[in-house]
Structure 1
Amino acid sequence: MTLTPNLYMADSFLESFDRLPQGQRKKVREFLGKFRSDPTAAGINYEPIHDTRDDRVRTVRIDRAYRAVMLHPNMGADYVLVWVDHHDEAMAWAKNKLFPVHPATGAIQVLDLELVEEANSRAADELAAKPLDAYALFETFADADLIRAGVPEMLLPSVRALHSADGLERLRPYLPPEAHETLFYIANLGCAVDEALRHAGVEADTPVDATLALEH
């Protein structure tokens, strides 16, 4: 018996879907219908990506030219769509990505490892230039608190190096949006983590009805 799949969609998937020509959007919707009927059908054409940094990543066939990037986190009935694009572009986009889970919401975050390395390198330079008596912006928060605020573990060194709100703003392009917003409330309003999460509107995710979400 085939399990009915639970389809989730990362914000990155919706952004990539919005860039597609109208005809390709229709094909994505058709694919979703077929996928929900039987995620094990041969026509889904799961393909791993060689040398990817996240072994949960697969691509699936939309048509001869387009593929979607999908995570199958627990090998059960849950699937997460994270990107859709031309075949080669989809493969290239996914190859250097990691997809950690936000601990407070269960939402998938998208991390580009090249950007993570760049952010941590810049943080190390800033830390070396920081005055010895400078106050670290989040020094009173444990790593577990920052992770709960949405900071990916790999970016903790960058966040730990911050000593001003301006520095947090410079780090913004490297952080998941919900993590930056939560840190903003902590740094600028003195909020505790739970209060900052509420201000940022961060709530637990629920399964997405992919067909309805793409009807636009």
Structure 2
Amino acid sequence: MNAATQYRVSYDLGCLRSLKKLPDRISAKFLDMMTRFMSDPSAHGLNFESVRGTGDRGVKSVRIDQGYRAIAFITGHDVMFLHVNNHDDAYRWAERREVRIDAATNGIRVVEAVEVEKEVGTAKTTAADAPALLAAIPDERLLALGILTEELPKVRQLRDQEDLDRSQDAFDATSYNILFALAAGYSDAEIRTLVGIKSADEDTEEKAAPTFADIIASDESRQHIFIPETEDELRRVFEGDLAGC
């Protein structure tokens, strides 16, 4: 990573949730590292390393201390932190993740990759055979609303609302919002408005493919991605507002 380059640093809310589960000393070390990097990237360049086994070359790791690693996604002049955990668990998490630009939702999707052909075969059962929570909703409707194909097996394993609540970190943030809304009885139109998906009869004028830099600054992405403007804002979120993640 070129230390002379100015990078825009952002944090997926999943990263902030992962920090809440770790010892306070690790959160403090991570905050100190991020504050120094934000104040002067040219003097405090981070040593990002490739993650062996991941299919996404933008997914990198960075050392917090001997036992803990942060996982980030790097593209262009953007660095988005995704997860923090102990060394082995952080790498296991990273090996299964990839980051996508989703033009349909105008957002960034952090996806847990699965062997689709092998596992989705189980997901493509009839809705009546599925566990109770979303048994009445067929795969086609889930996909049309924005659930990712790779996530269908996990959706079909949900038994009740508590199961969904416990599974928040297993789903992309947009997908979790869709599932939560479905479980709460929202209509498809209400869900599309919630996550910013255009319906089929809306303007379909062909446009240039959006870039990561374009999408991450969108209102839709800001629902689950935090981009601090100042060190004070960064510290306020890390030291006081993590409880709201």
TM-score, normalised on structure 1?
Answer: 0.68
Q: Which amino acid aligns with 1:13?
A: C
Identity %: 25
Q: Is the 8 A contact 2:62 2:71 kept in 1?
A: yes
Shift of 1:90: 1.3
Do structure 1's residue 120 and structure 2's residue 120 form an aligned pair? yes
Q: Which amino acid aligns with 1:205?
A: S
Do structure 1's residue 37 and structure 2's residue 39 form an aligned pair? yes
Q: Which residue of 2 aligns with 1:7?
A: 9
Q: Which residue of 2 aligns with 1:211?
A: 235
The 5-angstrom pairing of residues 2-81 of structure 1 reads 2-39=4-41, 44-72=46-74, 74-76=75-77, 78-81=78-81
Shift of 1:212: 3.0
Shift of 1:107: 3.9
3-state DSSP of counterpart to 1:53: coil
Shift of 1:30: 0.6
Distance 1:88 1:137, change over 3 A: closer
The 5-angstrom pairing of residues 190-205 of structure 1 reads 191-193=187-189, 195-198=190-193, 204-205=220-221
3-state DSSP of counterpart to 2:100: coil
Shift of 1:71: 0.4
- The separation in 2 between residues aligned to 1:180 and 1:27, in whole angstroms, is 30
Q: Which sections of structure 2, spanning at least 5 residues, go unmatched?
A: 130-135, 198-218, 229-233, 241-245
Q: Is the 8 A contact 2:111 2:172 kept in 1?
A: yes
Distance 1:47 1:39, change over 3 A: farther
Shift of 1:35: 2.0
Shift of 1:185: 4.5
Give the aligned length. 198
Q: CA RMSD in A?
A: 4.1
Q: Which sections of structure 1, spanning at least 5 residues, go unmatched?
A: 131-135
The 5-angstrom pairing of residues 132-171 of structure 1 reads 137=137, 145-147=144-146, 151-155=147-151
3-state DSSP of counterpart to 1:99: strand
- The separation in 2 between residues aligned to 1:67 and 1:52, in whole angstroms, is 16
Shift of 1:6: 2.2
TM-score, normalised on structure 2?
Answer: 0.61
| CA displacement, residues 122-141 of structure 1 (integer Å, 9 cap, x when unaligned) | 223x24987xxxxx845886
Q: Is the 8 A contact 1:43 1:61 kept in 2?
A: no
Shift of 1:113: 2.3
